[in-house]
Structure 1
Amino acid sequence: MLAVVLVVCCGLAAVGFVRLGRGRDVAAAPSSAASSAASVEPALFVDVEKPRYLVAERMVEVIVVNKGASPVRVEQIQLFGRLFKAQPPIAKDTLLQPDERKDLKVGYGRVRCRRQAPTSSEPFVRLRVRASDGNQSRARLALPSPSPTLQRLHDTECGLLALREAVQVRYGPGWTRAGRGYRDARGRLVLRRRASREPIVLTGVGGNVIFTVTAHVDDSPQRPQRDPQRPQRGPQRPQRGLQRPQRVSQRALAILRPGDERLTVPVAVAASRCDAHAVADSKKTFLLPLWLRVGAAEEQYLEVEVTGRGRRLLTDVISDCVAAEQG
């Protein structure tokens, strides 16, 4: 007998403890007449968290622990569930010795929002494994339902899709170098209304490993620019940007009001770190985070890419900062 414990994670996760017999299809679709039923022990549950290194990929991680007395080789893995369309199985060639743990990546498909998500089909992982004697087995291992990690990924993606249906968010083409020693670049964040007729609120801006972002709102000399026919409304206090995805303020930095079609917000992007380690570690150098809320909906996190002239100027900002650091 072989025993395999699966922990599905987006960091760590949860699963069942399943014993696999020779040539059996465990807890899967109806097996052949030659296959016999398998015993399934109580499920074990732990936390579910998507690893940071997979943040830019449509993948989660499955942690497989061999609790049997003999080696087992994982040859294939696939993720199923109602929140995302299934991706094709991924071939593996992963040998697990007794009590050994391996972390296996697995993809998930397009998100199913609103009525697209079927009401059935609880999430599970399907494995194909080979025992040390050469016999193959297939295992269908149920995940917690609902799975906190998959649910969180689903809700985030659906919220982001709804946001993009409501408003287009981009950085405008006009960028300049500014600041002391020209250590930063100035540009404009542009919000343009699409489908929604509700207020669209910019609640925060943020930076990343390299850059700090400051939105110049209301009290600064550079005020948010609305369409000429739309008057400015109510003063608000300026907020300072923070590094990494952390919200600057829970209050509105700027509002695209009902009836307004466009809003621009001046921003300054400064290089706050340019040491070799930070530059090498930066995975999203030109993706700048911000937070938006449409009407009474929940606040959504969004990363907006700086392109064109803005990207070239920010590249120059980094180069000048590195040169200054090196003396």
Structure 2
Amino acid sequence: MGEWRRFSLLAATVVAAATAVGCGADAGPSAEPPPGVSVSLQQNRSDVPAHKMQVAVRNDTATPVYFKDVRLLTDSFQETPPQPVDTVLGRTPRTDFPISYGAARCAPTRIPDAEPATVVAHIAVGKGPLHEVRWRIPHPDPLLRQLVNIECGEFLLRRSIDVTFGPAWTRSGRQLRGALRVDLKAGAGQVTIEDIAGTTHYDLRPASGEPKPVAVLTGTRDLPVVVTPSRCDRHAMGEAKQAYLFSLWASAGGTQTYRLIVVPDQRTQRLFESYAMEVCAERR
């Protein structure tokens, strides 16, 4: 019998045994992870707009392990349901399971430290029963710390300002000219727009061309901006995972500078795409 056939039969046995035991938290008591099986947290660029990350699993043993589901538990983010994966892993240096994570739990006046995290999964090792295991992620985890800093910084900044793309855009040569509307909320004080930046597909810069900071505001204002396509390869728009996640850095009331993600509405996104296709066609 070939090696692959032996593994397939053993994997089928694992899945059958796990299914017979049942599913969910009642499948067995929580236990330590099996030796040789470890996990880490990773995030791909395409995960960012979907608010997802990857549970990267490593199996250094020859014993297949059936994963029924996985989830992340941490006080830094709101809890989400287990993510079904229904997969048998043999020896593997890394296999990724995508999971969603909840909104960050932010403090009203500061960015909190990232809290310890645990990956919880229901697994069956070899011909063993389905049971719950927990991997404690080494603390502090750099990815979780980064995500808390980004999301809670944005949370703090949004208490002072709202930023949207204006409705009027005009093509001027190879440029698209319009504005960002910055609305200051009550008690925001003086707001400094430190910088703005484009995305994987579009460059965004102040129309004035003035050095940073872009603007110092004490009231609502439209900031004239220029948009140009940053790439023209054929499959660019088809791979546009983060094409419309524009960035703005600002501080309010003398506080620290935080980043804000600004997303144009669907109408403006279609306008940007149509404009970019026209400009790119003219370059050929």
TM-score by length of 1: 0.68
Which residue type is aligned with residue 98 of structure 2? Answer: K
Q: Counterpart of 2:274?
A: 316
List aligned pairs for 1:12-23, cutoff 5 A.
none
Distance in 2 (alpha carbons) for counterparts of 1:285 and 1:316? 13
Q: Counterpart of 2:204?
A: 213
Instruction: Spell out structure 1 runs of 4+ moving beyond 6 A.
Output: 39-46, 117-121
Output one character per residue of 1:40-92: Cα deviation in whole Å (capped at 9) or x when no partner. 8899898x652222111222211112233321111111110111122111112
Per-residue deviation, 1:269: 1.2
Q: Counterpart of 1:50?
A: 43
List aligned pairs for 1:221-240, cutoff 5 A.
238-239=210-211
Per-residue deviation, 1:313: 4.0
Instruction: Evaluate the alpha carbon distance shift between residue 37 and residue 132 of structure 1 in structure 2; reply closer, same or farther with a 3 A threshold.
Output: closer
Distance in 1 (alpha carbons) for counterparts of 2:33 and 2:276? 59
Tell me the number of residue pairs that the alignment of Structure 1 and Structure 2 aligns: 259
Match of 2:151 among 144, 147, 157: 157
Tell me if structure 2 keeps the 8 A contact 1:207–1:289.
Answer: yes
Which residue type is aligned with residue 139 of structure 1? Answer: V
Match of 2:262 among 296, 304, 320: 304
Distance in 1 (alpha carbons) for counterparts of 2:241 and 2:253? 32
Residue 189 (1) aligns with residue 161 (2): no
Q: Counterpart of 1:170?
A: 164
Tell me if structure 1 keeps the 8 A contact 2:207–2:225.
Answer: yes
Tell me if structure 1 keeps the 8 A contact 2:30–2:133.
Answer: no
Distance in 2 (alpha carbons) for counterparts of 1:151 and 1:167? 24
List aligned pairs for 1:118-129, cutoff 5 A.
122-129=116-123
Instruction: Evaluate the alpha carbon distance shift between residue 310 and residue 119 of structure 1 in structure 2; reply closer, same or farther with a 3 A threshold.
Output: closer
Distance in 2 (alpha carbons) for counterparts of 1:74 and 1:50? 20
Give the secondary structure class of the aligned counterpart of 2:282.
helix
Tell me if structure 2 keeps the 8 A contact 1:82–1:118.
Answer: no
Give the secondary structure class of the aligned counterpart of 1:276.
coil
Output one character per residue of 1:128-148: Cα deviation in whole Å (capped at 9) or x when no partner. 111332522321111123322
Distance in 2 (alpha carbons) for counterparts of 1:312 and 1:278? 15
Output one character per residue of 1:175-225: Cα deviation in whole Å (capped at 9) or x when no partner. 22213xxx22111111111143322111112222332222123xxxxxxxx
Residue 204 (1) aligns with residue 195 (2): yes
Structure (1 or 2) with the greater helix fraction: 2
Instruction: Evaluate the alpha carbon distance shift between residue 101 and residue 123 of structure 1 in structure 2; reply closer, same or farther with a 3 A threshold.
Output: same
Instruction: Evaluate the alpha carbon distance shift between residue 255 and residue 43 of structure 1 in structure 2; reply closer, same or farther with a 3 A threshold.
Output: farther
Q: Counterpart of 2:94?
A: 101
Distance in 2 (alpha carbons) for counterparts of 1:188 and 1:119? 35
Distance in 2 (alpha carbons) for counterparts of 1:311 and 1:137? 46
Output one character per residue of 1:13-46: Cα deviation in whole Å (capped at 9) or x when no partner. xxxxxxxxxx9xxxxx9x98xx798698899898
Give the secondary structure class of the aligned counterpart of 1:114.
coil
Name which one, 1 or 2, has greater alpha-carbon Rg. Answer: 1
Which residue type is aligned with residue 277 of structure 1? Answer: H
Output one character per residue of 1:224-275: Cα deviation in whole Å (capped at 9) or x when no partner. xxxxxxxxxxxxx714xxxxxxxxxxx4110113xxx212211111234323
Distance in 2 (alpha carbons) for counterparts of 1:273 and 1:156? 26
Tell me if structure 2 keeps the 8 A contact 1:167–1:195.
Answer: no
Tell me if structure 2 keeps the 8 A contact 1:79–1:125.
Answer: yes
List aligned pairs for 1:244-255, cutoff 5 A.
251-255=212-216
Instruction: Evaluate the alpha carbon distance shift between residue 265 and residue 92 of structure 1 in structure 2; reply closer, same or farther with a 3 A threshold.
Output: same
Distance in 1 (alpha carbons) for counterparts of 2:30 and 2:265? 59
Q: Counterpart of 1:77?
A: 70
Distance in 2 (alpha carbons) for counterparts of 1:271 and 1:121? 39
Output one character per residue of 1:136-182: Cα deviation in whole Å (capped at 9) or x when no partner. 23211111233222122122111111111211111222222213xxx
Q: Counterpart of 2:132?
A: 138
Q: Unaligned 5+ residue runs, structure 1?
A: 1-22, 24-28, 218-236, 240-250
For the aligned residue pairs, the C-alpha RMSD in angstroms reads 3.5
Identity percentage over the alignment?
28
Tell me if structure 2 keeps the 8 A contact 1:45–1:144.
Answer: no
Tell me if structure 1 keeps the 8 A contact 2:115–2:140.
Answer: no
Tell me if structure 1 keeps the 8 A contact 2:46–2:242.
Answer: no
TM-score by length of 2: 0.77
